[in-house]
Amino acid sequence: MFRVILYSQWKWSRLIVALGSVAGFALPIVSLQGAASGDRSALAAGELLQAVQSWGVLYPVLAAGLGLLVAITTWAPDHRGRHVHALSLPVPRWRYVALRFGAGTALLAAPIVAVVAGALLATWSATIPPGLQGYPVALAVRFALAVLVAYAVFFAVSAGTARTAGIILGILGSIILVQILAGVANLELDLFGRLQVIVLDWPGPLAIFTGRWMLIDV
C-alpha cells in the first residue's frame, strides 16, 4: 500500500519536488559564484562571507516552502473527496496517516539530496580564501531538519478539517487583535516578543529556521 500512496503523492506533487530540487541544487552554487576558480580572482574573505550570508536566508525559505506545499498536496485530494476513499480502506486511520506522512517524507528526500550535491559541488569548485572553510554537510543536515520540521507542522495542520484551520487562524487573529488594542491603549504588552522567544529561540520548535545559514564560514 505504501507504494500506491507514494505513487499517488508523486503525481500530485512532482512539479513541486522537481522545482524544489532544481532550486536546492542551484542555491549553493549561485551563493558561491564570486568565489571563482581557475584564472579568475576570488572574492576577499569578508566579501565572500557577506555574499554567502545574504544568499543563506533563502535556505529556510525554501525548506518552509517545500514543507508547506508538499503537505498541502498530500491532503488536498482527501479533502476534496471528503475522506471517503481513506475511510473505505481496510487499514486503521493512524496507519493511513503514517503512510501519508512517510510518502511525503520520501518525496522530500529529492530536494535534500539536491542541496547536498549542490553544496558539495560548490565548495569543491570554489576558491576559498585562507582562514575560511566549507560546511556543505552541516548545511545540508540543517536543511534536511528544517524541511522535515516544516513538513511535520504543515502536515498536522493540513490533516485537520477546515474547522481546525479556522480555529488556528482564529487564535492567531485574536493574538494580533489583542496586540493592536494594547498598542492603542498604550499598554506595555508584547505578545509577539514572548511568542517569538518561545517558538523561534532555542529550544523552540522552529529554532532550526533562525540564525545564520552559512555554506562558507571561519
Q: In this predicted structure, what is the pLDDT of residue 40?
A: 42
Q: In this predicted structure, what is the pLDDT of residue 212?
A: 83
Better pLDDT: 126 or 90: 126
| Mean pLDDT computed over every residue of the chain | 79
**Mean pLDDT, residues 60-88 taken together:** 77
Share of the chain above pLDDT 70, in %: 70
Better pLDDT: 117 or 56: 117
**Mean pLDDT, residues 89-117 taken together:** 88
28-63, pLDDT tens digit by residue? 999 887 665 444 445 577 777 888 888 888 999 999
Better pLDDT: 200 or 16: 16
Distance CA(60)–CA(147), nearest Å, equals 8
171-200, pLDDT tens digit by residue? 766 766 676 666 666 667 666 666 666 666
pLDDT at 76 over 80: no
Output the 3-class SS for the chain.
Answer: CHHHHHHHHHHHHHHHHHHHHHHHHHHHHHHCCCCCCCCCCCCCHHHHHHHHHHHHCHHHHHHHHHHHHHHHHHHHHHHHCCCHHHHHCCCCHHHHHHHHHHHHHHHHHHHHHHHHHHHHHHHHHCCCCCCCEECHHHHHHHHHHHHHHHHHHHHHHHHCCHHHHHHHHHHHHHHHHHHHHHHHCCCCCCHHHHHHHHHHCCCCCCHHHCCCCCCEEC
pTM value? 0.79
137-175, pLDDT tens digit by residue? 999 999 999 999 999 988 888 776 656 666 765 676 676
Q: In this predicted structure, what is the pLDDT of residue 59?
A: 92
pLDDT at 9 over 80: yes
**Mean pLDDT, residues 102-130 taken together:** 90
pLDDT at 27 over 90: yes
